[in-house]
Structure formats: structure tokens, C-alpha cells
Amino acid sequence: MTVYVDDAVTWWRGQRWAHLMADTLEELHAMAAQLGMPRRAFQDKPSGAHYDVTIELREQALQLGATAISRHADRERMRAVIRNARAQATPRED
């Protein structure tokens, strides 16, 4: 099982952000807890279950064993990680 952190490419609130995703929600929440992130920061969205992390938290996650994944260099692998994150999101009732 693996925790992934993508390229920090999203510009928001004056800094770059990345996405923390994992093979399982258990792993995702465990890594977020190690990074000191509150559970309320969890993004349970149809676009994929994830946490948004700053560049600094991205580096910490990598030091803790997360796998770097690039939207530019690892496109197929990135698509698979995103598909898995989408499958983990809580289904929305319309």
C-alpha cells in the first residue's frame, strides 16, 4: 500500500499546493495525522479523496515515506491514483 503526493502546482492563497492521496483511506488519514493535519482538512470530493498540502508538508510527507508522483512525467500512474481516489470518495446523493 502506498501514500502519494503529486507535484505542487496549484496556486492558492499565495503559495503552491499539492494533493496527498493513498491506496486506502486508512493510509491517507494516518499520513495526514503524522503531518499534524486535522481530519477536517480531508477533501471527500467526487474528484477524489485527498488532502491539500503545502510545499512544506509535501516535503515532510516524502520524508515520512510518501511516493512522489508527477502529473507531467507519470501520467498513466497518476490517472490510476486519481481513479482510486475518486473510488474512495463518499458517493453523493442527488
Number of domains in the chain: 1
Q: Evaluate whether 36 touches 43 at the Cβ level (below 8 Å).
A: no
Give me the mean pLDDT over the 6-30 stretch.
88
pLDDT tens-place string over residues 37-74: 999 999 888 878 899 999 999 999 999 999 999 888 88
What pLDDT, on the 0 to 100 scale, is given for residue 57? 95
In a domain, 94, yes or no: no
In a domain, 93, yes or no: no
In a domain, 44, yes or no: yes
CA distance 75 to 55: 21
Give me the mean pLDDT over the 2-25 stretch.
87
Give percent of the chain above pLDDT 70: 96
Q: Which domain holds residue 82?
A: 3-88
In a domain, 59, yes or no: yes
Burial class of 34 by CB neighbour count within 10 A (0 to 12, 13 to 18, 19+): middle
